[in-house]
Chains A and B, each alone.
Chain A
Amino acid sequence: MSTNTNVHISLAQAKLLVEYIESDQQTKANELIAEIQSPINSELFEEIGKLTRQLHDSLNNFQIDERLNDLATADIPDAKERLNFVISHTEEAANKTMDAVEAIFPVVDGIQKQISTVNPMWQKLMHNDLDVVEFKALCQDIDVLLKTTEKESSKIHRLMTDVLMAQDFQDLTGQVIRKVIDLVREVEESLIYMLTAFGMSSEKNKSDQPPKVGENLVEGPIINSENRQDIVSGQDDVDDLLSSLGF
């Protein structure tokens, strides 16, 4: 072993060395001398020490990050409730709208029916082809038609107002969904932070691949249709595809 002139020995090390020699522990004394003479090792130890501290701090920060805990135990369950609220409110709105529309259909059909009853006589009148008896009957029919139309149009108006009011879900669900989007963004940031803390790049593993058939076959409505090559853009596309298959 070459002599290192820059050797620095601390008082503690010197005392320890004397103690080893006095108690006849030659091996330990030799190890201590080697340690004192080899600053490379101590630098390495120092570096390891630094890393250990960093790891310790990171792990501590990780535990201290209560936000993460809140996200998992409170915010995400809350978001699920919010999204269920959206489902139930949009469903309710759709049903309210359809209630009104289904109530309007027979009303309109009824008016249409009365009009088609009146129409032949009316056409006769327009062509000066109506006798007095028929004219009286026509007047009677038109009187009924006017009365029903008046009554039924106010009913239609009321039902249309119901349809209008059923659209108030958009405002409420919009606000709720915006909150959930904020939460998703926060979770995304936490995940990226986690990846960075573990030395993984979030960019590196970014996948542009659309889900493959088989592994994620059922996808629901396509949101980003303009970026996708594997989907049809509408009914015309479906028809073209099917006819190309001989349908």
Chain B
Amino acid sequence: MFSPEGVLDKNMKVLVVDDFSTMRRIIKNLLRDLGFTNISEADDGNTALPMLKDGNFDFVVTDWNMPGMQGIDLLKAIRADSNLSHIPVLMVTAEAKKEQIIMAAQAGVNGYIVKPFTAATLNTKLDKIFERLG
């Protein structure tokens, strides 16, 4: 995920999971603006999981509230799968209950952004996540 110089590899494979195509488009645009070029999309956990299993993804950005498999269950499934458990997961969601944030933290989320959010917030969280992992 990191080049030898410790610079974030912008070619890393990112999966954006959200049931609203407009939100996926916003996140994709913001990520592209930050230099990420290799971005795929899924509309819920059920679509995301098989993609992750055979896709060599490096990073997941997911919503919580989606029909089918919800973001929290996708996170748990990623952490439970030894082939995927290393992938950092950033949650971008309107869910703002403290219990939910604690639940996500306990499930092993790497970052939590509440909607509505700004481009700067996304940038800061990404930096923080990869700084920690590096």
Contacts and interface: CB of A to CB of B under 8 A. Distances in A.
Interface stretch (A132-140, A141-149, A191-199, A213-221): A213-221
Interface string B3-30: 0000000000000000011100110010
A90 to B, nearest CB: 8
Contacts of B64: 218
B112 A222 contact: no
B70 A218 contact: yes
A235 interface: yes
B101 A242 contact: yes
29 contacts: A91-B21, A94-B22, A95-B25, A98-B22, A101-B29, A213-B100, A213-B103, A217-B97, A218-B64, A218-B65, A218-B70, A218-B95, A220-B94, A220-B95, A221-B94, A221-B96, A221-B115, A222-B94, A222-B96, A225-B96, A231-B96, A231-B97, A232-B96, A232-B98, A232-B114, A238-B96, A241-B98, A241-B102, A242-B112
Interface residues of A, number: 24
Given A94-B22, A220-B94, A245 B105 contact: yes
B117 interface: yes
A232 B99 contact: no
A102 interface: yes
B97 A247 contact: no
B22 A230 contact: no
Contacts of A221: 94, 96, 115
B108 to A, nearest CB: 11
A231 B98 contact: yes
A213 B96 CA distance: 12
Nearest to A225: B96
B113 interface: yes
Interface string A187-228: 000000000000000000000000001000111111001000
A238 B112 CA distance: 7
B121 interface: yes
Given A218-B65, A242-B105, 11 more contacts: A95-B21, A98-B29, A213-B97, A213-B100, A219-B95, A219-B97, A222-B94, A231-B98, A235-B114, A242-B101, A242-B112
